[in-house]
Amino acid sequence: MTARELLKIVVVGHVDHGKSTIIGRLLYDTKSVPEAAIERVKRISKEKGRPFEYAYLLDALEEEQKQGITIDTTQIKFSTPKRDYLIIDAPGHKEFLKNMVSGAANAEAALLVIDAAEGVQEQSKRHAYILSLLGIQKVYVIVNKMDMIEFSEKKFKEIKYEISTFLSKLNVYPQKYIPVSGFLGENIARKSDKMPWYKGETLLQALDLFEKDKELEDKPLRFPIQDVYKFDHRRIIAGRLESGRLKVGDEIKILPEGKVSRVKSIEFWPENNKKDEVVAGMSIGITIEDEFFNKRGEVIVHKNDNTLYVSDTFRANLFWLGKRNLVKNKTYKLKLVTQETECEIVSIDKVIDATTLETVENALEVRTNDVAEVTIKTKEKICFDEFKANSSTGRFVIVDEYDVSGGGIISGLANLKEEATKFAKDDKEMIVHCFDEYYYSLSEDLIRKHPKYKKTFKVGDAVPIEGETYSYPESFDVIDIVGKLVAKIRKGQLNDLVDIDQYIYSELPIITADGFYLKVNSIDEFKDFKNELVQLQKNDNLLLAMFANKWYDISANKSFKFTD
Amino acid sequence: MDHLDRLEAESIYILREAYSKFSKIAMLWSIGKDSTVLLWLAKKAFFGHCPFPLIHIDTTYKIPEMIKYRDKLAKEYNLDLIVHINEEAIKQGMGPEKGRLVCCKALKTDALQQVINKYKFEALILGIRRDEEGSRSKERFFSLRNEDSEWDYTNQPPEFWNQFNTDFPKGSHVRVHPLLSWTEIDIWMYIKRENIPVIDLYFAKNGKRYRSLGCAPCTFPVESNATTIDEIIEELKNTKVNERAGRAQDQEDAYAMQKLRKEGYM
């Protein structure tokens, strides 16, 4: 048996633009449906006093046939000599958008069906937006019901222009525009003689011209643990390889903790399933050399691979399909591969009306069927990729109560506008980072600042002069070169906060607001420092760096600790 | 990976997901080809083990060879098998003559509900496929049923990116469908590839064979000379007949299966 290629194609577009009819016609004309199904449709169409309804080949539910609509997605297999297809028929009604997403999210390519007479409608736009959000790049536009506009080339060109203008705003660039009539079968499986001006392929021919995505096995290894079994003497780590490849003897790292081990065996049943190497897409089981306590949700990567993020905040583009609106500061459940954790939406940076492309900044909620750019904070650190680097580990769903209610793709890490540590007196305020802890994160291979105290210290308050990664004397001054303020710490308490011009050098150690020791040991040195400071341009980073390298000593009071 | 490998990986992932999420879980086994493939996939998923019980809903009208085969296989595989009959309905003389759909509901749907109530199952794994009939084509991999096993097919939660709905209100249960993406031909190709034992009712004798198995009074064989799996696959490639054409309850009404399944039928 040869391995045949499978391509999943979703058919989207506005209600009544003829999606189910086009697919039904394609199946009918290529003899891909059993006689019995055709007989059944003939019978039902006749009972309803209608011509043969191709759409009934897909819309099997009674409510769908009685009302002539598609309620839920249907998936139908279909083959050409070149390869196999899974055609996913998505509903066009707004209230069934969640069903459309269920269908479209599993597809690699899409057909956007648009009624030649009606043009681009609300759901055409919304669906196109969701295609772009799901990262589906391969799109054909099928201009249907050409019979309603007398098969006119002029009108076809007009509508093509209208569609491409809108889609280009979404970064959707269709590869083809095909004029068809689903009901009459024009340009579906046979070339239409009613549109001699159209020199392109029929829909059937065009399907074979979609190119499949690059296989995931060439990407870095991502093996999320789905479960750990101990049915017999073996401790088997089971799951699906989302990307990459793995073989016996490979050195691996288990994130988020970063424990290192080696693959001892690849397990199998029955005997003839033995493999030495497994690749992306397979559901597998392995044993490893070290008996760690492993659990569902950890992700296995190769030992020297530092490309997987481990963090608790990230930015994402999200579509919301819930019964209730998505709101800030409410606890939801987030699922990303086999990881599950509680999460909150900490900021809704932008909400986009998918049909007008109007954006609202800093909205309070995301309404059902809207799309948004959000920042998410999870309760525990999780492992993820950016979606463009790895689609499986770069996307997640959000569960509200019992239902999967939204999905998102990760656009990158986020730095939250955290409440900062401050010194305050009267109307003066100084933001300080000198009490932040510095950690060297081994899993991320970088240094991170951790602001420990998100509070404001007032005159008379004790300040934390000893931390895990810093240590200051009991009495010293803190200088803020940006805010031009100096704080005086005496015997571990905030004693005063003054403008830099009123400050008189006190011969105590000075540190910067960031916690770096200032190489100033005399009144003269302080004068030199202040003169250079006056000339410093706030936004000239190069000068600023030279200035800092000259005057600051990073390691006098600060160090950093290793963490996972 | 060829297309059978892909289907196999998907089904195994779903089986493991269900087993990881639900402690009170069982698999329906009807002795037919699909649920036998499902059992095989479970043994693959759990490395030679089947870590949950199997349920067989016995209507007492099953084709006699099926029961013999069931008992033989249960012994061979050392299965934890729950056989259940809706005794109450049988006592009251339930049978197809009372109406096929009424009978299906009592001896299958209600019997299944009795098992769920008795063992407090949260999840049931079933071998239904999208290509079998219309209402099954609309199914989700993880499909919620309320306390009365009813399926609200016009308002299903979304299911995408291999993330399934595994949280549910108390009292309801989840139907898990690992074989949803398989076609009838896929099933036979896989049986052949893996050399899975199946009951010989599927192979032609005297010009007839069963394409789908059920109760004796309501299940009829189709005209066929296919005596090997290869011949069955060849026949299916060219057939103009539906898989469930020999299942009388499906023909009772244009939307018979939809109506049965809405109430909790498999």
* Model pLDDT for residues A371-393, shown as the tens digit of each residue: 899 999 999 999 999 988 898 99
pLDDT for res A75: 82
- Report how far residue A200's alpha carbon sits from residue A193's, in angstroms, rounded to the nearest whole number: 13
Across the range A266-295, mean pLDDT stands at 94
pLDDT tens-place string over residues B150-185 = 999 988 988 989 999 999 888 899 999 999 999 999
Across the range A36-63, mean pLDDT stands at 83
Note whether residue A1 is domain-resident: no
Query: From the list A36, A273, A321, which residue is nearest B245 (CB)?
Result: A36
Decide which of A183, A207, A231 is a domain's last residue.
A207
Find the domain containing A334 and state its range. Answer: 309-413
In chain A, residues with a C-beta closer than 8 Å to the C-beta of B5 are 3, 281-282
In chain B, residues with a C-beta closer than 8 Å to the C-beta of A229 are 46-47
With contact defined as beta carbons under 8 Å apart, do A182 and A54 qualify?
yes
What is the signed CA dihedral for A52, A58, A63, A66, rounded to 10 degrees?
A: -10
pLDDT for res A102: 79
CA-to-CA dists, residue B4 to A429, A544, B183, B222, angstroms:
67, 62, 11, 27
**Is the pLDDT at A279 greater than 90, yes or no?**
yes
pLDDT tens-place string over residues B104-144 = 999 999 999 999 999 999 999 999 999 898 889 889 999 99
Q: Are strands A109-115 and A138-144 parallel, antiparallel or unpaired?
A: parallel
A444-458, A467-481, B123-137, B144-158, range with the lowest pLDDT: A444-458
HSE, side-chain direction, 13 A CA sphere, residue A504: 0
If asked whether residues A325 and A368 sit together in one domain, one would say yes
> Residues A395, A400, A405, CA angle at the centre, nearest 5°?
50
Note whether residue A98 is domain-resident: yes
Residue of B nearest to A44 (CA): B254
Residue of A nearest to B180 (CA): A75
Confidence of residue A416 (pLDDT cuts 50, 70, 90): low
Note whether residue A17 is domain-resident: yes
Is B16–A61 a contact, with Cβ atoms under 8 angstroms apart? no
- Report how far residue A94's alpha carbon sits from residue A97's, in angstroms, rounded to the nearest whole number: 5
If asked whether residues A54 and A30 sit together in one domain, one would say yes
Query: From the list A2, A6, A404, which residue is nearest B163 (CB)?
Result: A404
Is B138–A269 a contact, with Cβ atoms under 8 angstroms apart? no
How far does A404 lie from chain B, in Å, by closest CA?
Answer: 6
If asked whether residues A394 and A432 sit together in one domain, one would say no
Across the range A33-56, mean pLDDT stands at 84
- Report how far residue A68's alpha carbon sits from residue B160's, in angstroms, rounded to the nearest whole number: 25
**Is the pLDDT at A215 greater than 80, yes or no?**
no
Across the range A105-113, mean pLDDT stands at 91
Q: Does A243 touch chain B (CB under 8 A)?
A: no
Tell how many helices (H) and how many strands (E) occur in chain B.
10, 8
How far does B88 lie from chain A, in Å, by closest CA?
Answer: 32
The two three-digit tokens of residue A229, written as one number: 């079994």
From the list B139, B220, B128, B232, the residue with the least C-alpha distance to B185 is B232
The two three-digit tokens of residue A408, written as one number: 């998102």
- Report how far residue A417's alpha carbon sits from residue A454's, in angstroms, rounded to the nearest whole number: 11
Note whether residue A96 is domain-resident: yes
In chain B, residues with a C-beta closer than 8 Å to the C-beta of A333 are 167
In the A/B pair of chains, how many CB contacts fall below 8 A? 162
Across the range A227-247, mean pLDDT stands at 96
A16-20, A91-95, A286-290, B233-237, range with the lowest pLDDT: A91-95
pLDDT tens-place string over residues B79-96 = 999 999 999 999 999 999
Query: From the list B1, B19, B181, which residue is nearest A282 (CB)?
Result: B1
If asked whether residues A455 and A538 sit together in one domain, one would say yes
CA-to-CA dists, residue B205 to A547, B64, B191, angstroms:
94, 16, 20
**Residue A261: strand pairing partners:** A252
Query: From the list B3, B44, B47, which residue is nearest A6 (CB)?
Result: B3
- Taking every pair of Cα atoms in chain A, the longest distance, rounded to a whole number of angstroms, is 102
Is B258–A403 a contact, with Cβ atoms under 8 angstroms apart? no
In chain B, residues with a C-beta closer than 8 Å to the C-beta of A35 are 240-241
Across the range B219-246, mean pLDDT stands at 92
If asked whether residues A284 and A340 sit together in one domain, one would say no
Confidence of residue A3 (pLDDT cuts 50, 70, 90): low
**Is the pLDDT at A1 greater than 50, yes or no?**
no
Residue of B nearest to A65 (CA): B255
If asked whether residues A46 and A190 sit together in one domain, one would say yes
A61-75, A482-496, B252-266, range with the lowest pLDDT: A61-75
The secondary structure of residue B258, as a DSSP letter, is: H
Note whether residue A50 is domain-resident: yes
Is B16–A227 a contact, with Cβ atoms under 8 angstroms apart? yes
If asked whether residues A25 and A137 sit together in one domain, one would say yes
From the list B155, B166, B262, B168, the residue with the least C-alpha distance to A102 is B155
In chain B, residues with a C-beta closer than 8 Å to the C-beta of A267 are 47
Query: From the list A74, A86, A102, which residue is nearest B160 (CB)?
Result: A102
In chain B, residues with a C-beta closer than 8 Å to the C-beta of A240 are 9, 13
**Is the pLDDT at A341 greater than 70, yes or no?**
yes
If asked whether residues A78 and A192 sit together in one domain, one would say yes
CATH number of domain containing A406: 2.40.30.10
At a CB cut-off of 8 Å and minimum separation 6, what does A361 contact? A349, A350
Q: Does A93 touch chain B (CB under 8 A)?
A: no
From the list A194, A2, A20, the residue with the least C-alpha distance to A79 is A2
If asked whether residues A93 and A25 sit together in one domain, one would say yes
Strands (E) located in B87-214: 123-125, 142-145, 173-176, 208-209
How far does B145 lie from chain A, in Å, by closest CA?
Answer: 13
Confidence of residue A63 (pLDDT cuts 50, 70, 90): confident
At a CB cut-off of 8 Å and minimum separation 6, what does B57 contact? B28, B30, B84, B85, B107, B108, B111, B112, B115
Is A60–B135 a contact, with Cβ atoms under 8 angstroms apart? yes
- Report how far residue B38's alpha carbon sits from residue B29's, in angstroms, rounded to the nearest whole number: 8
The two three-digit tokens of residue A260, written as one number: 């290192």
HSE, side-chain direction, 13 A CA sphere, residue A487: 29
**Is the pLDDT at A398 greater than 90, yes or no?**
yes
pLDDT tens-place string over residues A537-548 = 666 778 888 899
Residue of A nearest to B137 (CA): A74
pLDDT tens-place string over residues B197-214 = 999 999 999 999 999 999
Domain count, chain A: 4
- Report how far residue B34's alpha carbon sits from residue B184's, in angstroms, rounded to the nearest whole number: 9
If asked whether residues A245 and A143 sit together in one domain, one would say no
**Residue in the block written with tokens 């793995």:** A246
Q: Does A506 touch chain B (CB under 8 A)?
A: no
pLDDT tens-place string over residues A125-166 = 889 988 888 888 899 999 999 999 999 999 999 999 999 998
The secondary structure of residue A164, as a DSSP letter, is: H
pLDDT for res A99: 83
Query: From the list B6, B153, B254, which residue is nearest A281 (CB)?
Result: B6
Is B181–A75 a contact, with Cβ atoms under 8 angstroms apart? yes
Note whether residue A530 is domain-resident: yes
- Report how far residue A238's alpha carbon sits from residue B45's, in angstroms, rounded to the nearest whole number: 9
- Report how far residue B131's alpha carbon sits from residue B133's, in angstroms, rounded to the nearest whole number: 6
Note whether residue A126 is domain-resident: yes
**Is the pLDDT at A453 greater than 80, yes or no?**
no
pTM for this prediction:
0.77
Residue of B nearest to A83 (CA): B3
- The DSSP code sequence of A216-239 is GGGSPPBEE--EEE-SSS--EEEE
Count Cβ atoms below 10 Å from residue B170 Cβ, excluding itself: 6
Residue of A nearest to B166 (CA): A402
CATH number of domain containing A90: 3.40.50.300
CA-to-CA dists, residue A159 to A24, A115, A163, A181, B194, angstroms:
24, 9, 6, 15, 53
Across the range A106-111, mean pLDDT stands at 91
Is B154–A43 a contact, with Cβ atoms under 8 angstroms apart? no
Which residue of A46, A215, A229 to mutate against B (max B Cβ within 10 Å)?
A: A229
How far does A466 lie from chain B, in Å, by closest CA?
Answer: 46
Decide which of A281, A302, A323 is a domain's last residue.
A302
Which residue of A44, A402, A410 to mutate against B (max B Cβ within 10 Å)?
A: A402
Confidence of residue A369 (pLDDT cuts 50, 70, 90): confident
Strands (E) located in chain B: 25-28, 54-57, 81-84, 123-125, 142-145, 173-176, 208-209, 222-223
Note whether residue A92 is domain-resident: yes
Residue with the bigger pLDDT between A564 and A303: it is: A303
Partner B, chain A 131-190, Cβ-Cβ below 8 Å: none
If asked whether residues A498 and A555 sit together in one domain, one would say yes
Which residue of B130, B138, B183 to mutate against A (max A Cβ within 10 Å)?
A: B138
pLDDT for res B31: 93
Count Cβ atoms below 10 Å from residue A162 Cβ, excluding itself: 13
pLDDT for res A419: 60
Which residue of A99, A277, A333 to mutate against B (max B Cβ within 10 Å)?
A: A99
Query: From the list B43, B130, B160, which residue is nearest A106 (CB)?
Result: B160
Count Cβ atoms below 10 Å from residue A329 Cβ, excluding itself: 9
If asked whether residues A268 and A361 sit together in one domain, one would say no
How high is the mean pLDDT of chain B?
94
Is B131–A77 a contact, with Cβ atoms under 8 angstroms apart? yes
- Phi, psi dihedral angles at B9 (to 5 degrees): -65, -40
Is A43–B254 a contact, with Cβ atoms under 8 angstroms apart? yes
Residue of B nearest to A85 (CA): B3
The two three-digit tokens of residue A562, written as one number: 């290793």
Decide which of A260, A285, A302 is a domain's last residue.
A302
Q: Does A227 touch chain B (CB under 8 A)?
A: yes
